Amino acid sequence: MKSTQYSEKTLDHFRNPRNVGVLEGDDVAVGRVGNPVCGDLMEMYVRVKDDRIDDIKFQTFGCGSAIATSSMITELVMGKTLDEALEVTRADVADALDGLPPVKMHCSNLAADALHDAIKNWRSGKRLEPLGADEIAAAAKGCSSGATGETTVIQGTEDYAGKGVYASVADVTALADKRVLVLDKGVASARLALELTRVTPRVIFLTELDALALPDELASEIKRSDVKMLFQSRLLAVRGEGEVEKVLVHDLDEDSDYELFVDAVVLLED
């Protein structure tokens, strides 16, 4: 079966998703599962009254089944008690959609998990918090705080000094058309990242923080720019054959490592 061979019901929920959006208020809890690296991210908002789901809304980044399962579960649990809602499983959601392609049963059928997470948060008294609250907690336990609080050793930076690793950049045109990774060392590094966007379309700003710790004006300039932000990320190693080819990045939120192809790494001296 092809991964996109969906039932009519799944396609209907994909085309006309029910209960899309967000809820606000102090009687709302939110659950969040998945991550954009895997290609699926779901947020499920529930408003609870008298131990029942009074309203439910979702937002999903993902493939057809990710969107359809999110939509389906909102219909399945609307008006149910929290205990009843907790009994709804991934299999129930798939059944209600007349089945899912086998390959999608695991990775793109996270809606039940997102709902259960929302109910768990409700029951533990965690009300709607602005996005990023979880990340702050994860980052806090995972890393030293502050843009310049770099304590870990980055493997390979000495081996590649002058071969793609730079401690200073006197002339940005030397990096024209390169994929440049700039490590967050505060204001000077952020300004350099912005300046680099004049000479190359690919500038990545990597920081362990979950938000920009920069003066407002500079922060909003970066947000508007083509600088790609990598929050909650730690540079572990620089790799390549004789010159920089890629870096190993640790995702503090997901606690996982991945490789990223770059041509240059800028680690401004403190």
Partner 1 sequence: MVSSQTDEVYLDYQSARPVDHRVVEAMQPYFTERFGNPASLHGVGDRATEALEDSRAKVAAFLNATPREIIFTSGATESNNLALIGFARRNKRSGNHVVITEMEHISILNIAKYLEQEGFRVTRVPPDQYGRISPERLRARVTDETILVSVGWASNEIGTVQAIPAIAEMLRGTGVALHVDAVAAEGQLPVDMAAVPVDLLSISSNDIYGPQGVGALYVRKGVRLAAVTMGGGQERGLRSGTENLPGVVGMAAAAGIAAGEMSAESVRLAAMRDRLIREVLSNVPDSHLNGHPTERLPNNAHFRFEGIEGESLLLSLRDEGIAVSTGSACSSKTLEPSHTLISCGLLHEEAHGSLELTLGRFSRESDVDRVMQVLPGVVKRLRGLSPLYRAK
* Chain residues in the site for partner 1 (CB under 8 A): 3-4, 6, 11, 14-15, 17, 20, 36-43, 59-64, 66-67, 103-104, 107-108, 131, 177-179, 200-202, 223-224, 228, 230, 241-242, 245-246, 258, 260-263
Continuous segment of H or E residues that includes residue 32? strand 28-35
Between 104 and 116, name the residue whose CB sits nearer to partner 1: 104
* Integer Cα distance of 173 and 180 in angstroms: 12
**Burial profile 39-72: b = 16 or more Cβ within 10 angstroms, e = fewer:** ebbbbbbbbbeeebbebbbbbbebbbbbbbbbbb
User: Which residues belong to the active site?
Assistant: 38, 107
Least distance from C-beta 38 to partner 1, angstroms? 7
Between 49 and 224, name the residue whose CB sits nearer to partner 1: 224
- Take residue 194 and report the two structure tokens written for it: 């912005």
Least distance from C-beta 1 to partner 1, angstroms? 11
Between 85 and 206, name the residue whose CB sits nearer to partner 1: 206
Question: Angle at Cα 81 formed by Cα 76 and Cα 82, nearest 5°?
Answer: 90
Least distance from C-beta 52 to partner 1, angstroms? 25
Between 87 and 259, name the residue whose CB sits nearer to partner 1: 259
Between 185 and 246, name the residue whose CB sits nearer to partner 1: 246
Least distance from C-beta 138 to partner 1, angstroms? 17
β-bridge partners, 44:
31, 58
Give which of 254, 270, 266 is closest to 227, Cα–Cα: 266
**DSSP one-letter string for 189-232:** HHHHHHHHTTT-S-EEEE-SSSS--S-HHHHHHHHHSSPEEE-S
* Integer Cα distance of 151 and 182 in angstroms: 17
Least distance from C-beta 44 to partner 1, angstroms? 10
